[in-house]
């Protein structure tokens, strides 16, 4: 077991860095992310990295100088924040050595029942029999998304410094806030980073490489009703809640997250609130195919128009905003970037599995800002909840994948 890598990971998850969707326009969205940012800044200096900087928004950058000439400048990126979906405060991790393939009791019965990660519910556990797993106590997420990535990048840099026989060009690293709320790339200084391309270390299962992601949009549907005393409401009242429900029922019923996988897109109703006078539905729209993505947005607008035709124009207002796009179109003519990653992953894992991201990463937005940026596995699974876990051996493979990418880039 790589104690240096594991020790770093356990240190990083001791920091509560949960981001918040309630502080739109503020970066970082939570001040507590800055505490870890300062720690990482100081650690980068302590291990001997150069050009270590941190801006007021918590973006941390550093350089490992080249030890050979005429090599492309590449970078590695990971995010510091954890998901708003589950608490990241007071994480109590536990190391399970040589996992036996059975259910894992995270928390014994304390009067409210046991908390158990069951193999039948999380069959991916069986891919890690015999490995060393880090789990939670069932009351918080773990934070492998993406503190495993930070630990892997940091440890890979110390490994390269300790092995000067491995030739590499100039390597840049960056750690950023607010990825989990879709804002991690917004203030990322691509020009200052100064790379020809980079990789986010923010994937899951060992051996996976991702360079296709969803096209994404958010939709806010506002329904205007008319309130009248219910005793005298006949042919007068328009109940916005009921109209909103009617809108939701007209959306494609099988094109939802719980019924789709792989390259299949979806509509996801995130929230519905309101009263008789006004109700609001919040959706996210996702599809890998750009044409299908545009069709999905039109479908939602068409439903709004049908409702308006029935109840009167202005009853339903639909506001759709694009969030990010599929990075594949930015990488299509830059195959060497993914080829190097594939070969590095094959060397460390024995195989490379290319999978579509059923979501987005900072790398997607960065690719459209001029920094091509595929995503590489970091080893964690079951993100954003108390059943999250990470394999130490997977983290070790991710760390060595970084090393191999640096070596192969120098040899290209």
Whether 388 is catalytic is: no
Contacts of 56 by beta carbon, 8 Å cutoff, 6+ apart: none
82 close to 88: Cβ distance less than 8 angstroms: yes
The rounded distance, in Å, linking the Cα atoms of 20 and 26 is 10
Which listed residue (16, 81, 145, 178) is catalytic?
81
Handedness of CA 235, 238, 239, 245 (dihedral sign): positive
Whether 81 is catalytic is: yes
DSSP state of 127: G
Which listed residue (16, 43, 146, 179) is catalytic?
179
The rounded distance, in Å, linking the Cα atoms of 79 and 184 is 7
Residue 377, CA distances (Å) to 200, 259, 269, 391 in order: 9, 25, 29, 12
The number of C-alpha atoms within 13 Å of 4 and in the hemisphere containing its C-beta is 11
DSSP string, 138-170: SSS---HHHHHHHHHHHHHHHHHHH-TTS----
Phi-psi domain of 82 (left: phi exceeds 0; alpha: psi -120 through 50; beta: other) = beta
> Which is it for strands 133-135 and 389-391: parallel, antiparallel or unpaired?
antiparallel
Report which secondary-structure segment, H or E, holds 246. helix 240-250
223 close to 244: Cβ distance less than 8 angstroms: yes
Which positions are annotated as active-site residues? 81, 179
């Amino acid at each position: 077991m790589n104690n240096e890598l594991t020790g770093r990971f356990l240190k990083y998850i001791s920091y509560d860095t949960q981001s918040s969707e309630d502080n739109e326009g503020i970066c970082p969205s939570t001040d507590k992310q800055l505490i870890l940012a300062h720690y990482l800044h100081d650690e980068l200096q302590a291990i001997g990295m150069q050009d270590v900087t941190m801006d007021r928004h918590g973006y941390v950058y550093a350089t490992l100088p080249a030890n050979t000439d005429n090599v492309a400048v590449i970078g590695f990126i990971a995010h510091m924040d954890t998901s708003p979906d589950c608490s990241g405060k007071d994480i109590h991790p536990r190391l399970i050595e040589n996992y036996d393939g059975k259910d894992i009791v995270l928390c014994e019965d304390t009067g409210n029942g046991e908390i158990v990660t069951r193999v039948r519910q999380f069959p991916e556990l069986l891919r890690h029999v015999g490995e060393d797993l880090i789990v939670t106590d069932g009351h918080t997420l773990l934070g492998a998304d993406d503190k495993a990535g930070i630990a892997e990048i940091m440890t890979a840099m110390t490994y390269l410094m300790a092995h000067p026989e491995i030739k590499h060009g100039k390597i840049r690293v960056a750690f950023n806030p607010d990825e989990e709320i879709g804002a991690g790339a917004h203030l990322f200084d691509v020009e200052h980073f100064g790379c020809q391309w980079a990789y986010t270390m923010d994937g899951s299962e060992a051996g996976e490489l991702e360079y296709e992601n969803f096209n994404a949009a958010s939709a806010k549907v506002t329904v205007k009703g008319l309130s009248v005393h219910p005793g005298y409401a006949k042919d007068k009242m328009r109940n916005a809640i009921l109209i909103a429900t009617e809108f939701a029922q007209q959306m494609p019923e099988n094109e939802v997250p719980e019924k789709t996988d792989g390259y299949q897109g979806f509509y996801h109703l995130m929230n519905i609130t309101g009263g008789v006078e006004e109700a609001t539905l919040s959706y996210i729209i996702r599809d890998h195919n750009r044409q299908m993505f545009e069709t999905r947005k039109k479908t939602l607008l068409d439903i709004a128009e049908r409702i308006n035709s029935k109840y009167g124009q202005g009853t339903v207002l639909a506001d759709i905003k694009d969030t990010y796009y599929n990075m594949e179109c930015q990488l299509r003519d830059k195959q060497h970037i993914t080829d190097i990653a594939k070969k590095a992953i094959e060397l460390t894992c024995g195989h490379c599995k290319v999978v579509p991201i059923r979501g987005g990463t900072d790398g997607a937005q960065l690719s459209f800002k001029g920094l091509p940026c595929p995503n590489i596995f970091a080893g964690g699974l079951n993100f954003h909840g108390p059943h999250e876990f990470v394999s130490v051996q997977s983290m070790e493979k991710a760390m060595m994948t970084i090393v191999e990418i640096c070596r192969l880039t120098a040899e290209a």
